[in-house]
Amino acid sequence: MPSSVTVDDALRRKIKKLAAELDTTQGEIVSRAIELFEKTLSAESYSPDPEARRLISEAAKRRQDIPWRKKVREALRKPGPHIEDLRISRWSEVVENKP
């Protein structure tokens, strides 16, 4: 389920640099940034009504528990394939080793 997002060159370099420094994927960097952004826009920042804040907070917690979101977060934490596995010259080896 790959997707692409258009960002300017400066932001792309920042994401790439952070991913390298933290030894993680660029997708994980974007995911963490979105989570941090969502936390800063907590219920307190846009609703003075305590009941509304409670309902919004509960909805945000439920959203984190959606099964496909958990799968995506887990997939982003796992390392991707090694560059040697992606080389075209090795594809014949992979096909030959299949049962």
- Crossing angle of helices 9-22/26-40, nearest 10°? 100
Number of neighbouring beta carbons within 10 Å of residue 22 = 11
pLDDT one digit per residue (tens) for the chain, 99 residues: 667 778 899 999 999 998 888 888 898 889 888 888 877 776 556 666 778 778 877 887 777 777 777 777 777 787 776 666 666 555 555 555 555
Model-level pTM greater than 0.85?
no
SS3 (DSSP) at 97: coil
**What are the residue ranges spanned by the domains of the chain?**
9-94
